[in-house]
Chains A and B, each alone.
Chain A
């Protein structure tokens, strides 16, 4: 329970994937298919099963809000994975070694870090499926080594095929997950060798592991609900403009209040400068703001991955401006004045 309870926070977590699972869930709910290209993913997007979107969609259909549905779907995946490993290893080595293996998997640094800091939650469904599959194999062909080697081999082959051409970050976490699963099987073997005859050693070892791992991997929470899709994604999924709002349509002489919400999905090496401009049809500037995103105190290089930062500016508009105006915003590098482009190649985002 302590391993998954932290996912029941009524909000979101500071994840390396930001709100991408949430955006994907909304996208999948609009066009549900068995195999799909998640629109919000670290590039390149590849065909994938809708995990965790599919199970989360079931919970949404039961009345749960999308953020909660994604979290609870992940809880379900973690529980299924743990039970699957317990059954698989329990059948092979006995109940208490099985418990040790299952708890190892659940409290392993890779599992907790993925659950609370990274956010590749779909992987938990895959590992749960692998564990249950191996258990079914073991049931069908007995306790011998063959089904395990077969299962392990099939799993490694699938992993290798899957890992080809994946971006490094994704591949690493698939690797971490796979190693954790294999290590769990090894722990089951060791626990068998140590003749675990009660749950006490397994639980005590888990407690020790949890003491060491959980403080390091504990979640940071975000009390923020974004819109169904982001306004823009700058760079290679680096900086996400979660939301932007303006107090009114741009009009001559009326100051505008612009409110934006941002998130970075990778540690930034540049202190991005945030610009907001009011332009006429000839792109002449009638109102302008330029300042470091996050302010001088917390420029983007000091932002935590996944944290949500709010940025508000008041923008005066020249009184002699023409009536037809539009508002754009974006980011640029202060020394080179080079603008950061969005994923679709634009160097600004039009808000009004």
Chain B
């Protein structure tokens, strides 16, 4: 009896075990010695973690300001770029891994978690075996592999984890509206927002549609009663969604309100113009695979294929789905199939009018990013192929399909491991400076700059491997005979100096780009009595790089310049704290109500 129960448990978990084993070939490329330096964003990933780590070691628990980007003039990178994947990488780094190994571990983790997330989402709908096959399809979809091995898109790859989890949260909060489901949805949505706000924006309309698909109670023709049922069912989901927004507000609110203070041309202009990167229809099916970057025209070296095997199995799955009697599964699969088709359409030039007219669509930057949604929909449909009846036992059918999926992507399971060039690594300040100079990357500027710097005095020092203990622009100080500056302390996003101005109207220029949040505190000579506070609006800028410039009073004083929270950042934090408190309180209330009911 006991043995039979144990056997049953083992059998129940067998699909997960086999799924994890099936992930090994996808993980192996990241475990090979060396690093894929030439992958599109591989260097960026390593330097994102490097810079986050620098901020952390300077004492910032969340370093919105990255002091070494833009040749040392700094950039508010983590104020506008979702940080979760970088934070996961930083966690690996704190555990003792090098920066490049930490990046690779983020990808490994994203593979495992995205597969488990897909499995979890579909297990309740189509059974364990079909869910495991779908998870294999999700991980081995060529675009997913392309995102990891060629693009090294750490945030986007990690976002693959959250897509099924959000859908799972939606389904649970509609069909089983418990506090845990609502919180689960909230956490998943917050996770997505904190991993990639870009993907969150693309995915949110899909989520809203899925809420309606799952919650819709009636047939094709709506009746008044149906609408009320729909509203009642949607409420927990809406709470979950709001919770997600609340939990992530500390990031997205300032990102939303303060993105306008960075030069947006660098994010969406020139090479990043979406019109140059539409996918040609044949590219969706071309088995060609290569390493490079997205280029205008049809002759990309890299691949935007949906995958022959996933496509054909998704077709088989669609047939199976149309015949199933499980209504929720049918609705889910058909809806996500529609999403897959629409997303594939949005990658092509035929959809240019949508990109021009529908707000939010162009947020994707590169049209082929929509393939993420195609991958999701196709992977779900593949579960249909594995779940259909027939004479073949489910485990055998599932095993064969999983094997087929592996075989279909086997040729793509590789990364280009190369030795770093001097402008790539080893990860550190000198290589970061060389990288910025050679590629004009990580040289973002704020709207206060009139020019994008090509090099700097700070970079000149850092490239020699020396540390720069200040951001004071001593060229200006030395040019002013009535000004003297003495360095006291420097901490990445803040600096304390003592100065003596022998005439009024003196200014101290810092090699820091102006951005909301810079605040100057002027103390007396001993540095104990605060005499004046200058917010960022009261500071001035020095051309051409829009450097922070502090007008200082006459006499001997101590000046503290610090990158601080602005109103949106404080409000965002407050909302997130409130949401967190709501989660805890809600949990306690629901638990006590349960206990009372049980009693």
Interface of A toward B, CB cutoff 8 Å: 1-2, 5-11, 195, 197-200, 203-204, 206-208, 210-211, 214-215, 218, 221, 223
Contacts and interface: CB of A to CB of B under 8 A. Distances in A.
15 contacts: A5-B282, A6-B282, A9-B298, A198-B320, A200-B320, A200-B388, A200-B390, A204-B313, A206-B312, A207-B408, A211-B309, A211-B404, A211-B407, A211-B408, A214-B287
Interface in B381-413: 385, 388, 390-391, 400-401, 404, 407-408, 411
Contacts of A10: 280, 298
A223 B298 CA distance: 9
A241 B311 CA distance: 41
Contact of B280 (A1, A2, A9, A197): A9
B363 interface: no
A187 to B, nearest CB: 16
Contacts of B311: 1-2
A6 B286 contact: yes
A11 B312 contact: no
A277 B348 CA distance: 49
| Chain A binding surface SS class | helix
B399 to A, nearest CB: 12
A207 B285 contact: no
B281 A5 contact: yes
A339 to B, nearest CB: 36
Interface of B: 280-282, 284-288, 297-299, 308-309, 311-313, 315-316, 319-320, 385, 388, 390-391, 400-401, 404, 407-408, 411
Nearest to B311: A2
Contact of B385 (A1, A8, A200, A214): A200
Given A207-B308, A223-B297, 18 more contacts: A1-B311, A2-B285, A2-B308, A8-B280, A9-B280, A10-B298, A198-B319, A200-B316, A203-B313, A203-B385, A204-B312, A204-B316, A206-B312, A207-B404, A210-B308, A210-B309, A218-B287, A218-B288
Contacts of B280: 8-10
Contacts of A207: 308-309, 312-313, 404, 408
Given A11-B298, A207-B309, A198 B388 contact: yes
When A and B form their complex, which 9 residue pairs have the shortest distance between CB atoms, in order from nearest?
A5-B285, A2-B285, A203-B316, A207-B312, A200-B316, A207-B309, A8-B282, A203-B312, A210-B308
Nearest to A11: B298
Contact of A203 (B287, B315, B391): B315
A214 B401 CA distance: 19
Given A199-B316, A208-B407, A1 B285 contact: yes
A103 to B, nearest CB: 9
Name the residue among A1, A2, A203, A207 with the largest chain B CB count within 10 angstroms: A207
Nearest to A202: B316
Contacts of A223: 297-299
Contacts of A6: 282, 285-286
A310 B136 CA distance: 45
A214 B288 CA distance: 10
A206 B400 CA distance: 13
A58 to B, nearest CB: 21
B288 A199 contact: no
A7 B280 CA distance: 11
Contacts of A7: 282
Nearest to A217: B287
Contacts of B316: 198-200, 203-204
A8 B308 contact: no
B136 to A, nearest CB: 13
A70 B497 CA distance: 75
Contacts of A199: 315-316, 319
B404 A208 contact: yes
Given A203-B316, A204-B313, A198 B287 contact: no
A215 B287 contact: yes
A196 to B, nearest CB: 10
Contact of B312 (A195, A198, A210): A210
Contacts of B315: 199, 203
A9 B404 contact: no
A9 B281 CA distance: 8
Contacts of B281: 5, 8
A9 B288 CA distance: 13
Contacts of A218: 286-288
B359 to A, nearest CB: 30
A199 B411 CA distance: 26
B223 to A, nearest CB: 36
A257 B313 CA distance: 55
Most chain B CB neighbours (cut-off 10 Å) among A200, A204, A206, A215: A200
Nearest to B297: A223
Contact of B319 (A11, A195, A200): A200
Contacts of A8: 280-282
B308 A211 contact: yes
Contacts of B285: 1-2, 5-6
A233 B286 CA distance: 32
Contacts of A1: 285, 311
Nearest to A219: B286
Nearest to A3: B285
A6 B309 CA distance: 16
Contact of A5 (B284, B313, B404): B284
A9 B404 CA distance: 27
Contacts of B400: 204
* Highest count of chain A CB atoms <10 Å: which of B284, B285, B391, B407: B285
Contacts of A2: 285, 308, 311-312
A215 B284 contact: no
A221 B299 CA distance: 8
Nearest to B407: A211
Contacts of B390: 197-198, 200
Nearest to B286: A6
B385 A204 contact: yes
Nearest to A203: B316
Contacts of B298: 9-11, 221, 223
Contacts of A5: 281-282, 284-286
Nearest to B385: A200
Contacts of B309: 207, 210-211
A176 B309 CA distance: 26
Contacts of A197: 390
A208 B316 CA distance: 14
A248 to B, nearest CB: 32
A8 B404 CA distance: 27
B92 to A, nearest CB: 35
Contacts of B408: 207, 211
